Amino acid sequence: MTITPRRTSTRPTRVRTRRPGPAATGRHGSGVRAGARHAAEPVPTVPETAAPAPAVSVRRRSRRAPARRAYLGAVALRCALYLGPLSVALAGGESFGQVAWPVPLVTLLLGWTAAQALTCAGVSVARRAGVSAACRLVGAGFTATGALWCALVWVAPHALVGPHRWLALVVGLGGLATLATVTAALVTRAEAAVVRWFVPCWALAAAALAALASRPVPGLPAGTLPTGTLSIGMPPIGTPPAGTLSIGTLPIGTLSIGTLLPAAIVVALIRAFRPAMICGTRGPIRLTRPEVRRAAAYLAVGASQAISVGLVWRAVPSGSTAPFWLPLLLAVPILEALIGWSTEAGPDRRGVTAVTLAGLLPPLALGIALAVVAARTEARAEVLALAGGTLLGGVFAVTYLLAARGRTGVAAVLAIAAPLLTVSLKILPLPAAGPLPDAVGALAVTHLAGLLAVALTAADPRRAS
């Protein structure tokens, strides 16, 4: 969900200086008599004054250097914002184990697709009609997505949602609300404010990780809390009942992380959509045809990325402990920094193509190296899972970089190619290598094709954002 600045024109600007005419004194001054057709006597010529040269301030020139590195602060802020959905996923890990596997996958598919399309459309609306109208557009889009999720949960059989249908409904709505919060923050440029309201989610994720690792929360005695409970402050005198949340020395009831997490999500959601309640443009929001095509391309990119993540996740054997998502998470800050630098560089920066390709080559090289190592080791599934996650992060970087530089159609084609190739390898009459090797091979081919497209795009000055 990368927002790119408005594209600047690469046409050189012409500075036209008008020669100042002679000063006219009175009704028939020298300036009027100089242009008369039948003058009785020649008028003495007035010496022309040269136009003053524009003064170049050394102080103003020195301010441009820090401005080119201003994107680093935006990169750090967006990475902190992306920690919100990650913390929600970590804190709600216990709930994920109680629903069927299609629930998180379909939630990711719907939420990520809507986030990509609405971020693109919302930024365009914000430039034309203001952040209030853009925030209402994002809210309407995610409201429709939430209604679709409710309908799917209502009609789906128990085998697809799990034994607890209401829990599956709450899990999906919580994920959609978190992605809607991030989308609204990006569209309204309120990342810093929303990050502060995600702090309770971070605290709940830290408590869940501490309980998962059988380590006590700081300030609490070890062994007094069951998994999934949270206690704040010093323990009461004596032994409290199991599952009790205590503040100070007073037990106040049974509040677990699963109970506090929806409240934390709702608080951040309300803060992100606060601009929607501000008076602004109340008329119908209409997108132009280029904006619709661009949003449709981002929708295809988001859906294809979610499907690729699902294919790699389902291809990993159930007994494998390799975190295939770890390389994907590590690639996020590098991806944001690379896109920010390439868009800020423009056509006047030397070596844009070389630096861009140098940032995109390591995922491809590392993924291929891990795939080669997997063929010669016993832990083949774990190494192949890491290779798939690494190549998946590289494909994400390629598609986002192409979309940021105006090649949304090419980015959509490359994003669709990865899951399409993976499914085609299962259909074609080829020797069966397994779902995970097929996914790794399809991602490697897509990554290589994306590098060629990025090289051609980065070398074209007309595609500079």
Same domain? For 164 and 269 the reply is yes
What string of H, E and C letters represents the secondary structure of 399-431? Answer: HHHHHHCCCHHHHHHHHHHHHHHHHHHHHCCCC
- My answer on whether 128 and 259 are in the same domain is yes
Instruction: Single out the residue of 304, 291, 322 nearest to residue 398, CA to CA.
Output: 304
63 part of a folded domain: no
| Number of domains the chain is built from | 2
User: Which stretch of 58-62, 65-69, 144-148, 387-391 has the lowest confidence by average pLDDT?
Assistant: 58-62
Crossing angle of helices 408-427/435-458, nearest 10°?
A: 160
Asked whether 31 and 22 are in contact (CB, 8 A), the reply is yes
Looking at the fold, whether 410 and 378 belong to one and the same domain comes out as yes
d(CA 31, CA 37): 13
Residue 285 pLDDT more than 60? yes
43 part of a folded domain: no
Of 287, 303, 329, which closes a domain?
287
Residue 305 and residue 408 in one domain: yes
Instruction: Give domain status of residue 224, yes or no.
Output: no
Q: Which domain holds residue 175?
A: 70-218+253-287
Please tell me which residue, 23 or 282, carries the higher pLDDT value: 282
pLDDT of residue 346: 56
Does residue 268 have a pLDDT over 70?
yes
Instruction: Give the model confidence (pLDDT) of 322-355 as tens digits.
Output: 678 888 888 888 888 877 777 665 554 556 677 7
Indicate whether 295 and 272 sit together in one domain: no
What is the C-alpha separation between 242 and 261, in angstroms, rounded?
Answer: 20
- Long-range contact list for 107-111, CB < 8 A, 24+ apart? 107/149, 107/171, 107/172, 107/175, 107/176, 108/175, 108/306, 108/309, 108/310, 109/303, 109/306, 109/307, 109/310, 110/145, 110/148, 110/149, 110/172, 110/176, 111/145, 111/175, 111/176, 111/178, 111/179, 111/180
**pLDDT reading at 387 higher than 70:** yes
299 and 258 within one domain = no
Residue type, 389: G
Is the same domain home to 183 and 264?
Answer: yes
The pLDDT, as a whole number, for residue 156 is 93
Residue 375 vs residue 244, higher pLDDT: 375
Whether residues 208 and 316 fall in one domain:
no
Classify residue 52: in a domain, yes or no. no
Classify residue 340: in a domain, yes or no.
yes
Residue 280's pLDDT is 58
* Same domain? 356 vs 416: yes
Q: What per-residue confidence (pLDDT) applies to 23?
A: 52
Within-domain flag for 53: no
Q: Are residues 278 and 374 in the same domain?
A: no
- Residue 16 located in a structural domain: no
pTM, 2 dp: 0.75
Q: Tell me, yes or no, whether 433 lies in a domain.
A: yes
308/439 same-domain check: yes
Residues with Cβ within 8 Å of 375's Cβ and at least 6 positions away in sequence, in order, are none
Task: Report which of residues 217 and 435 the model is more confident about.
Answer: 435
Residues 281 and 358 in one domain: no
pLDDT digits (tens, 9 = 90+) for 196-253: 999 999 999 998 888 877 654 443 333 334 444 433 333 333 344 443 333 333 333 3
According to the per-residue pLDDT averaged within each range, which of 154-163, 333-342, 452-461 is highest?
A: 154-163
Rounded alpha-carbon distances, angstroms, from residue 17 to 53, 64, 333: 10, 26, 46
